[in-house]
Each structure stands twice: as C-alpha cells, then as structure tokens.
Amino acid sequence: MKIYEYPKCSTCRAAKKFIKNNDIDAEFIDVTKQTPTKEDIKNILKNFGVPIKKLFNSSGILYREGKLKEILPNLSLDEQIDLLLSDGMLIKRPLAFDMDNEVFLLGFKEEEWEKQIK
C-alpha cells in the first residue's frame, strides 16, 4: 500500500502510528517531495468512483489562496489532475491506496481504516 503523507501533519502521524501498530506493510511517501503519478490518480478516480474534488485539500492555504473552488469547475479533468499534482500540499492527506487489494482511504478515521485494511 502507498500512503502519501505530510510528515508534520498530526492526522498523517496518527495514520502512520495505526499502520505500524497493526503491522501493515505500507510505503510512506512525503507528498511534498513526490506526488502520486497521473496514472495513479486516474486509476483512483476510475476504480473507486471518487470525484476529483475530494482529492483536493480544500482547507489548505494553496487551495484557498488560489481560489480553486471557483477555478476547478471550469477545468477539464486532465487540467484538474495536473493542477492537483502541481504541488503536494494541494492533495488531501493521508492518501492511501492499494490497487491490487482494492483499498482507498483519504484522511484518517481509525474505524474506516480498520474496516478496509484488516
């Protein structure tokens, strides 16, 4: 499983603790250093039926300052994905997925993670 995180984020740290405490094999990736691939995002949208808007960190500074709430509806899907991947801080986190085992988690709610991972 890949988990894109921001190491300074308390929610991401809680997710990491949960993963370690439950001995789950996962690769943690600092989203500020490496974003998911465009192919990963397209697979998430297709396989899990997630609207692209949900993948944006809508409470983040970049989202608000960029007025993305107004801009996103006017962009094509490819343009939205490119914008999402232009800066890791635009991605809602933690973003966890495992295409092989059909796991997709966004944000951290322990009971939801337990249900999907265990």
Q: What is the pLDDT of residues 69-98, one digit of tens each?
A: 999 999 999 999 999 999 999 999 999 999
Task: Give the model's confidence band at 107: pLDDT under 50 very low, under 70 low, under 90 confident, else very high.
Answer: very high
pLDDT given for residue 65 in this prediction: 96
How far is Cα 7 from Cα 47, in angstroms, rounded to an integer? 27
Stretch 106-112: mean pLDDT, rounded?
Answer: 95
The per-residue pLDDT for 94 is: 98
CATH superfamily of 2-117: Glutaredoxin (3.40.30.10)
Report domain extents, the chain. Answer: 2-117
| Integer CA distances (angstroms), 25 to 20, 31, 49, in order | 8, 19, 25
Q: What is the pLDDT of residue 77?
A: 97
